[in-house]
Structure 1
Amino acid sequence: MPQAYLADRGVVKVAGDDARHFLHNLVTSDVETLTPGEARWFGLLTPQGKILFDGLAIAVPDTHGGGYLLDVAHDQAEALTKRLGFYKLRAKVIVENLSDAMGVGVVWGGDSAPSDLGITYIDPRLAELGTRIISERDRLATLGDNPDAWHKHRIHLGVPEGGKDFAWSDAFPHEVLMDQLQGVAFDKGCYVGQEVVSRMHHRATARTRIVPVTFTATAPASGTEVVAGGKTLGTIGSVGEGRALATLRLDRVSDALTAGLPITADDIPLQLEKPAFIRFAFPGEPTL
């Protein structure tokens, strides 16, 4: 049973009478309709539409106190707590960083997570990512210190992660595939940065995307430029076995493919590979 304790993840609690409306009105996804034990990928944006924080919001069953737990990067948890507190004003909401005591684990490969270990929830981005667990850190340590295996699995599926594939405050939700992986609700009311995200969606102006690339040679290092014909197409992010995630200008990739130019990173030939969940036009696909 592949499993891992993700020590670099933290937990932020949002609870209180107004928690549901408070969180729903701030983030990109629809957390208002979540049922207990269900999760959704969310982003908290700048007014200019860039991602300040991202994570998974879990609706907590009443047996565990209700409200929400936010599965986020550990090094972002305190800043997120302060940011949510900034928006709280007079809302009846408690926001608390639990990351010193609470953490996140994951079980994947079709196996069920032990329900007695903590709060479990299916990863809302892709079911193939497995079941995540929030519990006390010392209990999660029994899952084993094997985050590299988890990230290889994530990279294989083509799912980006903040801090590894994109920098916070530097990327739009469309660029990191939030629109493809249920991280943005386009039928909900206003939230911070909503106007920019909506405009990008309806005008189809997202030229930069994070997509999987494959290679057969030695792996290019994270941060390596992807080039073709002397032009920069983007950069390499997370790297796994024979595969990486790369932030690329897809229009430039299409031009390179049309011209028959090799796409490389540090002289290593790359091939783009389209995950099944991607719905936008992919470079190299025949046009109708």
Structure 2
Amino acid sequence: MAEYIELKSRGVLSVSGPDARKFLQGLISNDVEKVSPERAIHAAFLTAQGKYLFDFMIAEVGDALLLDCEAGRLVDFQKRLKLYKLRSDVTVEDVSATFTVLAMTGDDTTEALGIAAEAGAAKAVDGGAVFTDPRHAGLGARAIVETEKLAGFIAASGLTEGTLETYDLARIKLGVPDGSRDMQLEKTVLLEAGFDELNGVDWKKGCYMGQELTARTKYRGLVKRRLMPVRILDGEMPAPGTPVMRDEREVGEIRSGSGTMALAMLRVAVLEDLEHAVLSAGGSTILPVKPDWATF
């Protein structure tokens, strides 16, 4: 059965106007021209040095591009976007009070919503848009819907309420990062967090901020760390930031966690021998689990 979870940690920015696509295209890691009523994307906004600052989903709703982003950092994101507006005919507006973001999971989620089980597949609904998670179809779907029409959307889709904990566990098992919970601001490189395999970078689009380092990291094979799921074999869930140890050597750091799984940023050398890569973090024994999408 398809379930919905209201993602209260998410906010919505609207980018509209004649220059909206051109404006975003020069700033973000994915190709804005791919966005349509039938397609949503996942992308990141980087520092000029190619380090992570923000990531978000983009869906087309009416005449605007709606960015599903971290609510707690939305004001900062909006300010940074406006710094690059210059003479562009574009409006960047916080519409979080108007829209609600949902995640939807379950074996028949995409069928219930009438969308393809393909990452990024989208369709318009009354008051918003619904789309298969652009990062990984196994995460189900997301919706950006006008709050006043939310009840009608949920009823029409036959959704029942799920729990954030269940959704978060599914996300972690798939190795999908959740913004600044898992990626360090101004430090993480996109390819360390799986953005290549998880559809967050377009290698054929034109220039964007931070592109040079991102491309160099890929083509010179400079990825030295990877964000990976780890299973807690015994002990308590380590707190975010807990060092991961192999014998007496620090080889990584715990990020977000749920249930008996967490994400950890680990040295690639550790992951080359997963069969024997039993590690420890804060007194707990952990084991890396390579997702099926990872290409290293």
Establish whether TM, by shorter chain, passes 0.5: yes
Taking the aligned partners of 2:277 and 2:105, their CA distance within structure 1 comes to 38
How many Å apart are 1:243 and its aligned residue? Answer: 1.6
Match of 1:221 in 2: 239
Runs of 4+ that moved beyond 3 A: 113-118, 136-145, 252-255
> Contact (CA 8 Å) 2:59, 2:129: kept in 1 or not?
no
Deviates more, 1:6-15 or 1:211-220: 211-220
Distance in 2 of aligned mates of 1:67 and 1:139: 18
2:95 maps to 1:95:
no
Judging by fraction of residues, say which structure has more strand.
Answer: 2
Q: Distance in 1 between matches of 2:36 and 2:10?
A: 23
Q: CA RMSD in A?
A: 2.2
The one-character-per-residue Cα deviations of 1:198-226 (angstroms, maximum 9, x if unpaired) are 11110010111101111232332322211
Q: How many residues end up aligned between the 2 structures?
A: 274
Gaps of 5+ in 2: 115-124, 155-159
- 1:154 equivalenced with 2:154 (yes/no): no
Equivalent residue runs for 1:1-288 within 5 Å: 1-60=2-61, 64=62, 66-109=63-106, 110-111=108-109, 112-113=112-113, 115-116=125-126, 118-137=128-147, 140=150, 144=161, 146-217=163-234, 218-254=236-272, 262-280=278-296
* In 1: Cα distance, 2:289 partner to 2:181 partner: 19
CA drift at 1:268:
1.9
Q: How far apart are 1:176 and its partner, in Å? A: 1.3
Aligned CA distance change for structure 1 residues 67 and 138 (closer, same or farther; 3 Å): closer
Structure 1 unaligned spans of 5+: 281-288
1:173 Cα deviation from its structure 2 partner: 0.7
Counterpart contact for 1:113–1:132, Cα < 8 Å: no
2:142 alignment partner AA:
R
State how far apart, in whole Å, the 1-side matches of 2:148 and 2:72 are: 19
> In the TM superposition, what is the alpha-carbon distance from 1:100 to its structure 2 partner?
2.9
Q: TM-score, normalization: structure 2?
A: 0.85
TM value normalised by structure 1: 0.88
